[in-house]
């Protein structure tokens, strides 16, 4: 009995450490406790959970599987195994573990939320909504449930249901200013809208956190833009961006390093091998700067019956970073820098291909073509050519002033677009993108790389759509020019725009703010 009480106390200490996110201490203490109590699943579970939160997913998986052997019906272990398999892109396994947990306890909230997130990640948004609606029967006022279903409805273009659930989420957490920003994406503000006063009153709170202020300034920036009050709009966008930029502290150095190394080694190293396409699918990669029309092009192409729009997949970049991480561990002394492309071998390229195809195969798209619309894949165009030579790459470009200004108005999830919160960084990154594409266009044939200029595409829409489909070896389809009728989800900042027929009002929209953007204009090379 005394031994059981000691174990209970030790576990309680670990739980408290997990709650305050002191994962390093949990890891060290758990390893000691596992040696002392090798048959206690809870210590393995705490260790696995903490390793996962530190990004050590491979070891976390191994530890959590040991925990499951000790307690095969533990819903918390099953849920954590779902999370870690999801992190490792083992999506089918993740789904199985969540389903097992819910089979044991149908109202297990964490598993319901995580399973819904998994379905959302796999573009199975209707499945995600079913899961969340079922969960809301048990927990109608839960913030995370209402927040998640609101975002999915937003992706699907159902702005009425999206707003309804955002409002429910706000009731349970009125201090959450992000909800205000997200709801603003569902509407067009008018003069006298009560939200102006709500936002400004919240900003008067002297104790408000910087991150909360940021969301409110982004919301006000959009609201003032809608009513064409450009001075107040810019003032708020700048305040929001200054906060976000200070948090992320972007540097161009890593991106410059990748580009320089790619240029130096592309011809001599990656041109030696053209891998056979072992997949029966055809891949369409849509690349370019964010806010260059990539979402529009994806909606147009994926409206075709033979094409599935998979959204912004991280798989290709993940494969590359995984290979370089392993190269660093094996060849640390011979590496010139973190992205030494001179070390790329036939094996490396095969590994990238297999990683990418394995992840895609788990998505189970029945269509012959799959669209991967991750704009920043423009960095890897040459590697895509070597790894998947039968792919189609579409590069989207637009007036650089419109691109940069449109990016400046967005608050993106994650850190991949850290350059977008400072006008000088935006100009530098656009200049780098421009150099990338000049390089790829000079070194790859026109049958592989198709360039679209947004302004021409919207001006001569139907003709440009025909050219686009011809490039992809697709038959003409009227559905592609009626893309706005599609039920495809859109998870980008363009989620409202692509629900409308083609329009030209966003062309040269930066000119409304020209007096504030002189430095940006001067820093752009073209």
Q: Is the pLDDT of residue 415 over 90?
A: no
Into which CATH architecture does domain 281-400+445-502 fall? 3-Layer(aba) Sandwich (3.40)
Q: Is the pLDDT of residue 493 over 90?
A: no
Give the pLDDT confidence score for residue 494 in this predicted structure. Answer: 45
Strand partners, 288: 396
Q: What is the number of other CB atoms lying within 10 angstroms of the CB of residue 173? A: 14
pTM score: 0.87
Q: Residue 479: left (phi > 0), alpha (psi -120 to 50), or beta?
A: alpha
Distance between CA 142 and CA 138 in Å, rounded?
Answer: 9
Q: Is the pLDDT of residue 431 over 70?
A: yes
Give 138-184 pLDDT, tens digit per residue: 999 999 999 999 999 998 889 999 999 999 999 999 999 999 999 99
> Residue 373 to residues 196, 213, 285: CA-CA distances in angstroms?
35, 31, 6
Beta strands across the sheet bearing 449-453: 307-309, 369-372, 282-288, 392-397, 449-453
Give the pLDDT confidence score for residue 89 in this predicted structure. Answer: 83
Give the pLDDT confidence score for residue 12 in this predicted structure. Answer: 82
- Mean residue pLDDT of the chain comes to 88
Give 42-53 pLDDT, tens digit per residue: 889 998 999 999
Q: Is the pLDDT of residue 104 over 50?
A: yes
Distance between CA 82 and CA 94 in Å, rounded?
Answer: 4
Contact 41, 57 (CB under 8 A): no
271 falls in which pLDDT band (50, 70, 90)? very low
Distance between CA 496 and CA 186 in Å, rounded?
Answer: 7
Give the pLDDT confidence score for residue 501 in this predicted structure. Answer: 57
Give the pLDDT confidence score for residue 502 in this predicted structure. Answer: 55
Domain ranges of the chain: 1-106, 281-400+445-502
Contact 294, 285 (CB under 8 A): no
241 falls in which pLDDT band (50, 70, 90)? very high
Six token digits for residue 188: 């067009």
524 falls in which pLDDT band (50, 70, 90)? very high
| Interval 223-245 mean pLDDT | 97
Give 18-50 pLDDT, tens digit per residue: 787 888 888 888 898 888 888 889 889 998 999
393 falls in which pLDDT band (50, 70, 90)? very high
* Residue 82 or 339, more confident: 82
CATH number of 1-106: 1.25.40.10
Lowest mean pLDDT among 61-70, 209-218, 353-362: 353-362
User: For residue 189, how many C-alpha atoms fall within 13 Å in the half-sphere facing its CB?
Assistant: 24
Give the pLDDT confidence score for residue 108 in this predicted structure. Answer: 97
Six token digits for residue 390: 């039968």
Give the pLDDT confidence score for residue 212 in this predicted structure. Answer: 96
Six token digits for residue 228: 């064409």
Q: Is the pLDDT of residue 277 over 60?
A: no
Q: Is the pLDDT of residue 270 over 50?
A: no
* Main-chain phi, psi angles of 395, to 5 degrees: -100, 125
* Residue 325 or 316, more confident: 316
Give the pLDDT confidence score for residue 492 in this predicted structure. Answer: 46
Give the pLDDT confidence score for residue 525 in this predicted structure. Answer: 86
The listed range with the strongest mean pLDDT (49-58, 171-180, 446-455) is: 171-180
* Residue 348 or 147, more confident: 147
Contact 184, 162 (CB under 8 A): no
Give the pLDDT confidence score for residue 496 in this predicted structure. Answer: 46
Give the pLDDT confidence score for residue 444 in this predicted structure. Answer: 84
Distance between CA 39 and CA 56 in Å, rounded?
Answer: 23
Give the pLDDT confidence score for residue 143 in this predicted structure. Answer: 96
Distance between CA 216 and CA 210 in Å, rounded?
Answer: 10
* Residue 17 or 506, more confident: 17
């Amino acid at each position: 009995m005394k031994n059981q009480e000691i174990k209970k106390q030790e576990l309680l200490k670990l739980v408290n450490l997990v709650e305050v996110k002191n994962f390093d201490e949990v890891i060290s203490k758990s390893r000691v406790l596992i040696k002392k109590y090798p048959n206690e699943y809870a210590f393995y579970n705490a260790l696995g959970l903490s390793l996962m939160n530190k990004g050590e997913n491979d070891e976390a998986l191994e530890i959590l599987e040991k925990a499951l052997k000790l307690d095969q019906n533990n819903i918390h272990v099953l849920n954590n195994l779902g999370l870690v398999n999801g992190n490792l892109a083992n999506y089918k396994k993740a789904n199985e573990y969540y389903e097992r947990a819910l089979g044991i306890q149908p109202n297990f909230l964490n598993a319901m939320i995580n399973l819904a997130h998994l379905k959302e990640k796999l573009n199975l948004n209707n499945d995600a909504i079913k899961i969340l609606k079922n969960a809301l029967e048990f927990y109608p006022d839960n913030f995370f449930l209402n927040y998640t279903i609101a975002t999915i409805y937003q992706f699907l273009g159902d702005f009425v249901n999206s707003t309804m659930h955002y409002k429910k989420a706000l009731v349970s957490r009125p201090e959450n200013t992000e909800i205000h920003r997200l709801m603003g994406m569902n509407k067009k503000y008018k003069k006298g809208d009560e939200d102006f006063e709500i936002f400004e009153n919240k900003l008067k709170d002297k104790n408000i956190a910087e991150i909360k202020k940021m969301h409110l300034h982004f919301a006000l920036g959009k609201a003032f833009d809608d009513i064409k009050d450009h001075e107040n709009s810019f003032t708020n966008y700048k305040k929001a961006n200054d906060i976000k930029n200070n948090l992320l502290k972007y540097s161009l150095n890593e991106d410059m390093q990748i580009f320089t190394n790619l240029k130096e080694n592309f011809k001599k190293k990656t041109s030696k091998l053209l891998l056979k396409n072992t997949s029966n699918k055809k891949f369409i990669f849509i690349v370019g700067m964010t806010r260059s029309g990539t979402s529009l092009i994806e909606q147009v192409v994926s409206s075709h019956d033979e094409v599935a729009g998979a959204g912004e997949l991280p798989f290709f970049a993940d494969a590359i970073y995984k290979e370089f991480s392993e190269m660093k561990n094996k060849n640390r002394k011979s590496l010139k820098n973190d992205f030494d492309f001179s070390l790329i071998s036939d094996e490396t390229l095969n590994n990238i291909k297999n990683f990418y195809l394995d992840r895609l195969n788990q998505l189970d798209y029945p269509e012959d073509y799959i669209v991967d619309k991750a704009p920043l894949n423009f960095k890897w165009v040459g590697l895509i050519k070597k790894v998947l030579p039968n792919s189609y790459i579409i590069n989207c470009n637009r007036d650089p002033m419109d691109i940069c200004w449109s990016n400046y108005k967005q608050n993106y999830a994650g850190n991949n677009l850290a350059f977008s919160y400072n006008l000088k960084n935006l100009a530098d990154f656009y200049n780098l993108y421009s150099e990338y594409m000049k390089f790829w266009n000079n070194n790859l044939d026109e049958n592989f790389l198709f360039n679209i200029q947004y302004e021409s595409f919207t001006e001569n829409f139907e003709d440009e759509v025909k050219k686009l489909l011809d490039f992809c070896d697709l038959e003409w389809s009227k559905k592609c020019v009626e893309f706005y009728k599609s039920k495809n989800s859109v998870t980008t900042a363009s989620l409202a725009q692509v629900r409308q027929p083609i329009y030209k009002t966003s062309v040269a929209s930066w000119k409304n703010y020209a007096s504030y953007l002189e430095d940006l204009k001067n820093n752009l090379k073209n």
